[in-house]
């Protein structure tokens, strides 16, 4: 693999950029792999990359039913943050954020990670109390957090509605300066290129259609491109986890729901940060192309369709207008839906499964994108050592049986409320 560098850019410019090698191979699948990761999105590719890099396992296949990065990796709102409160989440997401900070240089691929800051607005005294508590907890955990008052926010984000007669006046906000956004496709491409250069086979258009088990082990993964013998199997298929698990009669504490996201027509630079509304569910940032990227709640009913419904669009836009009235005449140019693996406590499940050589990486709810490198890091550790890393120990499947929920919102076992 040719290293990307300024010298290479100059050198190739002389040949009108005709001589760049392809970024990753399109290999013919082998008969047998030590580890098969199902799902070539960010999480699957990151898992394969860290398995190869940190654990020296090279005989790996990443199977993808469509094209790589074509699922939720290409469908999110690209937000990266680690402003969590509970220990199980906080340290894991902070590790992930630290990996983001070096990801571009680690992959030799610009993932355009931009630490522009993530601000959560608070509109009532009780919300101020809540974000103060959250901020203090984060700081005690060694994660950066800053409490801003209305004046400070006004200076940073003059476009927010600060008028006195609004239903949800802005009282303050919690800012994580190290949070921000990354270019989602570049994350998939960079990880694919780096994993491929370490010998990982990325096999696209290869849908898993079944498994063969011997004892309590998966021995063969059946796909649309033939059957593969496998040593270990990892699921990293986000919203399709329920479907894949049903192929081996595994029931999980997960429901699939559809989440919509939106991009507006491009504007000159207006929103310099990621901002979230505190009185409704709404988050917004501006892409480098100028489009405002925003989203809100899931559609609330079980769905495997990568499309949503109109009432939710109205709700999202209403929340957006309450926060930034100047959006009112903006046109939405694109909108889409992605299938979320909503877990019963709102936190991910990443670890071992009831089947000996099957490992689960699922239940990411809305929050999978920011977890990409961290998820790969701990999932690779879990697969290689057959036991969880200290960072994902608490995010196991057994916690539901034992009643040790990691419920950040305290919403209870209702997947659509997390």
Partner 1 sequence: MLIINCPLCGPRDHAEFTYVGDATKNRPENSDNSNDNAWYDFVYLRDNPKGLHQELWQHSFGCRCFVKVLRNTLTHEIIATGMPKDNLILKEKGLELSV
Q: Which residues bind partner 1 (CB under 8 A)?
A: 240, 242-243, 245-246, 251-256, 300-305, 307, 309-311, 344, 400-401, 413-416
Supply the minimum distance, in Å, between the C-beta of residue 138 and partner 1.
29
Q: Which region, left, alpha or beta, applies to residue 146 given φ > 0 means left and ψ of -120 to 50 means alpha?
A: beta
Calpha distance 323→278 (Å, rounded): 9
Nearer to partner 1, 133 or 307 (CB): 307
Supply the minimum distance, in Å, between the C-beta of residue 301 and partner 1.
5
Supply the minimum distance, in Å, between the C-beta of residue 243 and partner 1.
4
Calpha distance 355→331 (Å, rounded): 49
**Cβ(6)–Cβ(174) under 8 Å?**
no
Nearer to partner 1, 295 or 363 (CB): 363
Nearer to partner 1, 2 or 305 (CB): 305
Supply the minimum distance, in Å, between the C-beta of residue 416 and partner 1.
7
Nearer to partner 1, 1 or 411 (CB): 411
Bridge partners of 359? 234, 352
Supply the minimum distance, in Å, between the C-beta of residue 395 and partner 1.
15
Q: Nearest 10 degrees: CA dihedral of 298, 300, 303, 305?
A: -40
Supply the minimum distance, in Å, between the C-beta of residue 57 and partner 1.
31
Nearer to partner 1, 45 or 298 (CB): 298
Nearer to partner 1, 20 or 414 (CB): 414
Calpha distance 48→42 (Å, rounded): 10
Supply the minimum distance, in Å, between the C-beta of residue 313 and partner 1.
11
Supply the minimum distance, in Å, between the C-beta of residue 334 and partner 1.
20
Cα-based distances in Å from 247 to 208, 213, 242, 266: 9, 11, 9, 43
Calpha distance 102→2 (Å, rounded): 20
Nearer to partner 1, 37 or 254 (CB): 254
Grouping H, G, I as helix, E, B as strand and the rest as coil, residue 265 is strand
Count other C-beta atoms under 10 Å from residue 265's C-beta. 12
Supply the minimum distance, in Å, between the C-beta of residue 303 and partner 1.
5
Nearer to partner 1, 64 or 255 (CB): 255
Grouping H, G, I as helix, E, B as strand and the rest as coil, residue 121 is strand
Q: Of 394, 376, 397, which Cα lies nearest the Cα of 49? A: 376
Bridge partners of 61? 36, 201
Nearer to partner 1, 198 or 300 (CB): 300
Calpha distance 397→366 (Å, rounded): 18
Q: Is 225 exposed, middle or buried (0-12, 13-18, 19+ CB in 10 A)?
A: middle
């Amino acid at each position: 693999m040719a290293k990307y560098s300024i010298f290479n850019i100059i050198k190739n410019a002389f040949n009108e950029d005709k001589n760049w090698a392809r970024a990753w191979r399109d290999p013919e699948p082998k008969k047998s792999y030590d580890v098969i990761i199902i799902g070539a999105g960010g999480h699957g590719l990151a898992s394969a990359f860290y398995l190869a890099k940190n654990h020296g396992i090279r005989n790996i296949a990443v199977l993808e039913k469509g094209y790589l990065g074509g699922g939720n990796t290409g469908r999110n709102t690209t937000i990266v943050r680690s402003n969590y409160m509970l220990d199980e989440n906080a340290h894991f997401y902070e590790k992930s954020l630290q990996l983001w900070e070096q990801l571009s240089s680690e992959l030799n691929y610009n993932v355009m990670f931009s630490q522009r800051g993530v601000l959560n607005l608070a509109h009532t005294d009780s919300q101020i109390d809540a974000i103060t508590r959250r901020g203090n907890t984060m700081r005690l955990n060694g994660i950066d957090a800053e409490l801003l008052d209305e004046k400070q926010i006004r200076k940073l984000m003059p476009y927010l509605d600060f008028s006195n007669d609004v239903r949800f006046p802005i009282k303050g906000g919690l800012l994580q300066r190290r949070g921000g956004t990354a270019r989602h496709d570049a994350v998939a491409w960079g990880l694919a290129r780096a994993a491929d250069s370490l010998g990982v086979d990325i096999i696209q258009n290869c849908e898993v259609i079944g498994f063969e088990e011997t004892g309590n082990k998966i021995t063969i993964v059946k796909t649309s491109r033939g059957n593969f013998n496998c040593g270990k199997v990892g699921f990293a298929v986000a919203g399709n986890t329920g479907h894949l698990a049903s192929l081996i009669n595994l029931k999980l504490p997960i429901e699939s729901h559809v989440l919509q996201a939106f991009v507006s027509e491009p504007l000159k630079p207006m929103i310099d940060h990621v901002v979230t509304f505190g009185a409704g569910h709404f988050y917004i940032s501006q892409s480098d192309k100028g489009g405002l990227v925003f989203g809100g709640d899931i559609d609330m009913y079980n769905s495997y369709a990568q499309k949503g419904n109109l009432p939710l669009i109205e709700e999202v836009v209403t929340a957006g207008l309450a926060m930034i009235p100047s959006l009112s005449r903006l046109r939405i140019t694109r909108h889409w839906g992605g299938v979320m693996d909503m877990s019963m406590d709102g936190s991910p499940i990443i670890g071992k499964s009831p089947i000996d050589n099957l490992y689960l990486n699922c239940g990411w709810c809305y929050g999978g994108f920011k977890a990409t490198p961290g998820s790969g890091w701990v999932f690779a550790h879990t697969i290689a050592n057959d036991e969880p890393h200290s960072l994902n120990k608490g995010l196991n499947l057994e916690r539901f049986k034992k009643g040790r929920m990691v419920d950040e919102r305290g919403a209870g076992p209702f997947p659509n409320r997390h």
